[in-house]
Structure formats: C-alpha cells, structure tokens
C-alpha cells in the first residue's frame, strides 16, 4: 500500500510548505506570471491561495508542476 507513495516526489510535502517555498523563491508577481491564477494577482496571501488551491484541482496541479520543475532544476 505504501509502495506508491515512496516514488511520489510530493509525498510528505504539504501544500502550504510548497506554496511558501515558491513565494520565497519567486515572489507573488513572478508566481502570478508563471501560473496564471487570479488569487496570485489580487491581494495574494498564503491563506487565501491555499483555500483556492484546495478547492481547484487544475490550479493545484499547475502549482505542483512548477514546484517539481524547480526541485528538478536544483543541483
């Protein structure tokens, strides 16, 4: 049962930690440019964006994809 999760690069990473890292790395303006989601443009906050991302699977997938690309680009 746990075999699938060990190969999941997002296993153990909370959405809040993921988003916090992306905001620290890119800032809100660049994050909004890379992932066109309205909550990143209009008065963004971690709390409001988490609420939106938890309810919107397509947006969450885009943010997770950006996070994974960033992780793979690291040395």
- In tens, the pLDDT along 46-63 reads 999 999 999 999 999 999
**Residue 66 placed within a domain:** yes
What domain count does the chain have?
1
Distance between CA atoms of residues 72 and 41, nearest Å: 26
Place of tokens 């809040």: 16
**Residue 6 placed within a domain:** no
**Residue 7 placed within a domain:** no
CA dihedral 75, 2, 60, 40 (to 10 degrees): -60
4-63 pLDDT tens trace: 666 778 888 899 999 999 999 999 999 999 999 989 998 999 999 999 999 999 999 999
Q: Which range of residues forms the domain containing residue 26?
A: 14-73
**Residue 8 placed within a domain:** no
CATH number of 64's domain: 1.10.720.30
Q: Are 23 and 46 in contact (CB under 8 A)?
A: yes
**Residue 4 placed within a domain:** no
Q: How big is the chain, counted in residues? A: 75
**Residue 60 placed within a domain:** yes
């Amino acid at each position: 049962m746990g075999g699938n999760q060990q190969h999941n690069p997002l296993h153990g990473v909370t959405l809040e930690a993921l988003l916090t890292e992306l905001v620290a790395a890119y800032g809100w303006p660049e994050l909004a440019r890379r992932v066109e989601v309205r909550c990143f443009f209009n008065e963004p906050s971690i709390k409001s964006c988490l609420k939106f991302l938890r309810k919107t699977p397509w947006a969450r997938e885009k943010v997770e994809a950006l996070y994974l690309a960033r992780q793979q680009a690291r040395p």
